[in-house]
Amino acid sequence: MNKKITSALISVFYKDNLAPIVDFLGKQGVKIYSTGGTQKFIEELGVAVTAVESITSYPSIFGGRVKTLHPKVFGGILYRRDNQEDISQSTQYEIPAIDLVIVDLYPFEETVRIGAEEAEIIEKIDIGGISLIRAAAKNFQDVLIVSSREQYAEVLTLMQEKNGITTLADRKKFAAKAFDITSHYDTAIFNYFNEEQQAQVFKQSIRSAQTLRYGENPHQQGVFYGNLQEMFDQLNGKELSYNNLVDIDAAVLLMAEFEETAFAILKHTNACGMATGITPKEAYLKALQADPVSAFGGVIITNKTVDLPCAEELNKLFFEVLIAPAFSEEALALLKSKKNRILLLQKPVKLADKQFKTLLNGVIEQDKDLAMEVEADLKTVTKRTPTPYEIKALLFANKLVKHTKSNTIILANDSQLFASGVGQTSRVDSLQQAIAKAKHFGFDLSKAVMASDAFFPFPDCVEIAHKEGIRAVIQPGGSIKDADSVAYCDANEVAMVFTGVRHFKH
């Protein structure tokens, strides 16, 4: 049913871009009710406005906590215009009809985000606003609800095109938007309180979304929920795909482990190349050396500015995505020469400390693996102590093993991945895969150390590694047969350290 807007309640926190709506309503002769700062704003626009207090006979009280919570306000919104009993009661109690409600919510999330004190955060829990929004949305048969400044332009166009008349479909559409706003708001409040209470309840709400070309495969639909623009500026290239995003996530998490100049090349979330260097160019070339075949079509990331010498080397390779915190002007111009090449400028954003995904008929959640061992955490369990060079290499390899699919073995020196054995059902298979790759690309394994994401149940891996020339090993420890691996190492002058921390990645 079509409805002509004849009355409106406007009470908002954010007043930017509200003026054109107020001006339109004024020219339409709509009776406007308002409160506090919004009332003053409307008056300053020269548009007639009636204070809510004039119909409730109550002022704003309790420091503004109670302004619109009154039967004459909620009655005007909720009474059913096609229900004779409701109409009679609205006349009996002198309740004016309200056809349009423009109300937003206090900035609770923003206040939490800036680290405000709890008292200020609590005052930003909206009571009247969210109640008005829910009431208007519930009675969409008769009332149009505008629940966010994001909707101002859309609703103004709607009213202008229809001369202040709304259809049932219009009102129902905006009601759905309103319940999206209120449910998201309540979820944010719950999650704030639940940081302390730790109730075993799963609630997440993300209002921004980006439809992807497809999911993991072309026959699957895909959507990214979140605001990528907060984390990246896309400087070039085609639209990001589902698989791009999965690899980018893995790349960002890996690179976060390094402060020194570093480059990583990833395929299917695993690093096929990783190195540090004095310059970006050196780090990139060392990373590429580990597996120049797999690097084709990969996702590349660095933690330093991509300069022209580095870009000239990168430009020789076909890759899908390059992520960096900055690009020199000359480097960017060169890299943009391939129109589909995705270039992402990474911005500093704090990432969530939790991970979750759908599983079976529910959702599984865990703390993100934020542990990373340093030299003081290493426990030497063999007679031979690793040299300072070996310790540096072991720590480098351990960072890589944390971010590689289990079961995994990493072979590396102190600044370069030689090879990895990835996602094998047997740790021996992972090691043999890594050895074969390292040899194929010409690495001298006598200069490598070995890292494992989990303990060795048998001494076979340390025996195989030793026979290839490897003399230092890092692993979590914890097997009931740790002594067997330690004994083999002692018999063959291999140094081994335990971290006490397993880094499975499935």
Catalytic residue at 173? no
Find the helix packing angle between 168-197 and 128-138, rounded to 10°: 140
505 DSSP assignment: -
Given a cut of 80, whether residue 35 has pLDDT beyond it is: yes
As a whole number, the mean pLDDT across the chain is 95
Which of the two residues, 68 and 2, has the higher pLDDT score?
2
**Who's near 115: CB < 8 A, 6+ residues apart?**
none
Give residue 10's identity as a one-letter amino acid code. Answer: I
Selecting among 124, 138, 336, 439, the annotated active-site residue is 138
Given a cut of 80, whether residue 381 has pLDDT beyond it is: yes
CA torsion sign for 345, 349, 353, 355 is: negative
The first and second tokens of residue 421, run together, are 């054995």
Given a cut of 70, whether residue 366 has pLDDT beyond it is: yes
Average pLDDT over residues 340-353: 95
Residue-wise pLDDT tens digits, 200-222: 999 999 999 999 999 999 999 99
Given a cut of 90, whether residue 479 has pLDDT beyond it is: yes
Give 480: exposed, middle or buried? Use CB within 10 Å, 0-12, 13-18, 19+. Answer: exposed
Please tell me the predicted confidence (pLDDT) of residue 93: 87
Given a cut of 80, whether residue 467 has pLDDT beyond it is: yes
pLDDT band for position 459 (cuts 50, 70, 90): very high
pTM, two decimals, is 0.89
Percent of the chain exceeding pLDDT 90 equals 92
Task: Collect contacts of 319-323 with beta carbons under 8 A, ≥24 apart.
Answer: 319/265, 319/295, 320/244, 320/247, 321/237, 321/240, 321/244, 321/247, 321/248, 323/232, 323/248, 323/251, 323/252, 323/255, 323/299
Average pLDDT over residues 457-481: 96
Residue-wise pLDDT tens digits, 178-208: 999 999 999 999 999 998 888 999 999 999 9
What CA–CA distance (Å, rounded) separates 457 from 446?
A: 24
Quick check: 251 and 264 in contact, CB under 8 A?
yes
Find the helix packing angle between 19-27 and 152-161, rounded to 10°: 20
Percent of the chain exceeding pLDDT 70 equals 99
Closest CA to 438 of 300, 278, 316, 273: 273
Average pLDDT over residues 72-89: 91
For tokens 């430009």, the residue is: 315
Average pLDDT over residues 257-276: 97
Selecting among 268, 336, 439, 447, the annotated active-site residue is 268
Given a cut of 90, whether residue 72 has pLDDT beyond it is: no
Please tell me the predicted confidence (pLDDT) of residue 67: 67
The first and second tokens of residue 126, run together, are 């909206």
Catalytic residue at 268? yes
